[in-house]
Structure 1
């Protein structure tokens, strides 16, 4: 018999307090796909056999005679938490483990949260899948190759060329040691691996799309496996212990597309009881059942929310009202585990910390975060700007890779109410010649319009920082450390047309010729970057930041003065401060790398 993961029942309805239990480590069983949950699943995190293959001499599992290491999945081999901690250049690595699942009724699906960058998978020696893209999940139906004795062996070959700059890689350094704003590499498996037993006909995917203006929720479901006429899906939605919907729909060609109309109370005070916001993150519990000939075939739990975001003239809108964004830049790294959180509780803690510091959102920078982070942001009420990790080169292959992976990201995460803005590009990374090269501009415009096509319900920032050619929000990066200069540059005396023709933060024009500011909201989406490290810390003299403070008192004074000015600049519809935590040599966090505040968190919140 195999061990089954614990069911997380209605945990998104629990209040935010320290008494809520959370799983203590990544090998514990926090359900990895929070918006499509089943009662039974098998967590495959933990100890795996492992070996490097720097020469690329192995092409199949049988070629490996000696597994040289044991690794703790899902931590990358570069991380200390993996048990290996080898930060050298290793383009190939192999994993293998056994697990128990009996061959019987139903199907067995094997899921990988993320493997950086390319993964090939064998089960019981049979090749099963090849997936490219280091930040998105993939699944395999392994039923046809299961052993009758119940013991199954999975082998993974992960390829991640450290010198390939034409793949989406975000902040992962191409040099041996991290430098400037670049961090250690994350190779191979870095998110949860898991399996689940599903019926022969099963619910494969769900998508929720709230329509605030019509007081409706869009519902899409994909049913896979054996399909028959007469299959039905039952949808039950509840919130605050009240049933909102209890409907049944016919499955046509394996799909359902419905708009579920809720009873609209009309008046705002009543509506607000059901709306999701950072101040009141109300979620709608969803129970989805699959029925055929009067029998329950499959059942999953999910959630959604009634929440809308958009742009109205020069303001960002939440639920039909102007809403000022107070964001903090979040790199999503940990010293001992790199891009993989050390625990589910660590993800929750980051959300809680950001809120307690006075921020109502984060800009997840150059990283597609674990779905468990989005879950906690949904539950606790924290808005998220989701940003695609950049390639650094502009080539046909880089464009193809990024486009494919970005579409997978939107498909994975579009149902999360916490996500309010999509960001395909940052600071012209991967499109370095926007001012001079038409193909680079077309690439940004194409990704902007592709994003709007795949998800027309959220604003899109085509290129965050400068050199804007297609955007719903004019996002500016400006690390001037003198508050008075920022006040003069963006204050009430400034003519906007002059601002966009004259100012060049970072040495870059804010808008490209032919693409002027057209009344969109203006936000200061990177600024600050005030660094501080205690003198007694190792390598304190090697820290990096946009400006350095000599002591904690100076850091607090600088932050307070800077935020006082930014909050008073009326042209801004929001801001994003750099940054939440120290990240390796980049010591410009409000928190140390271990998430300890550098000065009292109450003082941070007051200034924010």
Structure 2
């Protein structure tokens, strides 16, 4: 069941009570001349502008709405907090800042981060007074249009075109404060093992000398089903919790699936002696995902995936949802339109989205935002940030597939260039080392390298022509579907599952020359519906596919091939869309 209190928090999957939101009005300035550091703006500056955090300055919701490039940004805000224990520690948390951030507390350097899609924290304790309980936070952000920088669908020029959109600079996810005891659980990794009836718990502390005990409490559907105390020592302790089934006859755990997204709640409290140091509320789903021959199996049973491409943009707020209900409305629409999952395209989404997908039973492919230049700097930046992505999101049962690369972006010569092939396959092995419990589509779309399955993109408008291409899988794997080789040179097909992981892209005539979809625009709603029915009908009749991903959920700026307009209004009746996606409409026959 969705907990509205947790849904309103920045990390419902890693929840601490008593957090304080720092969203809202911040002082703001552009620093195009890059003089802020030299002049010491962190020690005081006459800010003339204001911005609404967490919206980027390019968005209208920020209160600024300027799309010109500004490579250096400054933010500042003062805030206070409530009484805390003498040994308490104060933490300032950022959900995501694009691309580099430096943080000062009361004019003193407190930390920083590089990477536009992943969270970071800085400790405030050494820089604030415990008497007045006031802090002045200053943040400097740098965001260039460097194509070596992981940027996803953000255009590297000011003017947008094709399938690249308005850039996002600076703070674009939640900012909040937390108070812990003298020691903090920095990260908790949960590894559900349904076949063994247990979950492995790995805790990372902020410091290396933890020596105390963890008290855990396991709940299912609100009822307590287990408690325990574990002595822990060192920076990264781990232990196992048995997940007991109350039914002695069935003797199985409750399994998570799209049809029944059941979750176990886990409370973890760390203590040293009589001192409570930190307490976190989290959860996990007991499920397995694997490949056997040419099938994907969820909980050891075949899974057919009906996904929709979801880019997560809104007209007034860009990559940040306009309000707390936006994700819920999107996922309710996904389900109503007959899909059982989303491919979150070129974006690392807010944790609230994944929390809702976990609770609603929506499968997720999580895709790393691409950079667009193969160089030493780009390789390092991509690899580093990708590791942070997996660390943040590896506990979500909804995520079943990681996608490091899309359509050879950033590795344009991977078809024949062995350096780029080695780099791409590094991500496959790196992913499996970090998270061997999910699937990997290493370079989704074409020119595949080592992966758990083959994902093919094909925007053929004629459904029967599309179906004919996939009639002989062996022949298709050795050649091309869309003018790009399906496999990179030196790679061979080993009978892995095959996904049609992008297709469709139908746009409706709107009288605008700058808007586009794949192939000719449909003349109106009925023409749109007829084309959709014929195309999805043919895809649903293709034997041997492990699933598909329809492009796309919503219109995004000039790309108007969504099933919904950008304001989330459906372009045809939702039940008709669902019938197309599930094949219940007969495929236009």
1:53 match: 31
1:153-552 alignment, distance < 5 Å: 153-162=136-145, 164-224=146-206, 227=209, 229=211, 231-263=212-244, 271=252, 274-294=254-274, 296-491=276-471, 494=472, 496-505=473-482, 507-535=483-511, 540-547=512-519, 548-552=521-525
Distance 1:436 1:325 in 2: 31
User: What is the DSSP-based 3-state SS (H/G/I as helix, E as strand, rest coil) of the residue aligned with 1:404?
Assistant: helix
Q: Give the conservation status (yes or no) of the 8 Å contact 2:416–2:489.
A: no
Change (3 A) 1:334 1:510: same
Distance 2:249 2:117 in 1: 40
C-alpha displacement of 1:270? 6.8
Matched, 1:150 2:150: no
Q: Give the conservation status (yes or no) of the 8 Å contact 2:218–2:224.
A: yes
C-alpha displacement of 1:284? 0.5
User: What is the DSSP-based 3-state SS (H/G/I as helix, E as strand, rest coil) of the residue aligned with 2:191?
Assistant: strand
Q: Give the conservation status (yes or no) of the 8 Å contact 2:245–2:251.
A: no
C-alpha displacement of 1:449? 0.6
Distance 2:57 2:134 in 1: 26
TM-score, normalization by structure 2: 0.94
1:5 match: none
Deviates more, 1:135-144 or 1:432-441: 432-441
Matched, 1:70 2:53: no
User: What is the DSSP-based 3-state SS (H/G/I as helix, E as strand, rest coil) of the residue aligned with 2:475?
Assistant: helix
Q: Which runs of 5+ in 2 are unaligned?
A: 582-589
1:17 match: none
Change (3 A) 1:72 1:533: farther
Q: Give the conservation status (yes or no) of the 8 Å contact 1:108–1:197.
A: yes
Q: Give the conservation status (yes or no) of the 8 Å contact 1:444–1:463.
A: yes
Change (3 A) 1:353 1:558: same
C-alpha displacement of 1:62? 4.5
1:28-177 alignment, distance < 5 Å: 30-59=8-37, 60-62=40-42, 65-101=45-81, 104-147=86-129, 148-162=131-145, 164-177=146-159
Q: Which runs of 5+ in 1 are unaligned?
A: 1-10, 15-20, 24-28
Distance 1:266 1:457 in 2: 27
1:8 match: none
C-alpha displacement of 1:513? 2.3
Distance 1:268 1:447 in 2: 43
C-alpha displacement of 1:465? 0.3
Matched, 1:590 2:571: no
Distance 2:258 2:19 in 1: 31
C-alpha displacement of 1:209? 1.1
Q: Give the conservation status (yes or no) of the 8 Å contact 1:205–1:221.
A: yes
User: What is the DSSP-based 3-state SS (H/G/I as helix, E as strand, rest coil) of the residue aligned with 1:469?
Assistant: coil
Distance 2:186 2:128 in 1: 21
Q: Which string of whole-angstrom CA distances, capped at 9 and with x for unpartnered residues, describes residues 427-468 of structure 1? A: 000000012311110110101110111000001011000001
Distance 1:225 1:450 in 2: 25
C-alpha displacement of 1:292? 3.1
Deviates more, 1:324-333 or 1:257-266: 257-266
Q: Which string of whole-angstrom CA distances, capped at 9 and with x for unpartnered residues, describes residues 32-75 of structure 1? A: 11222111011000000001111212113257643131000000
Q: How many residues align?
A: 575
Deviates more, 1:555-564 or 1:526-535: 526-535
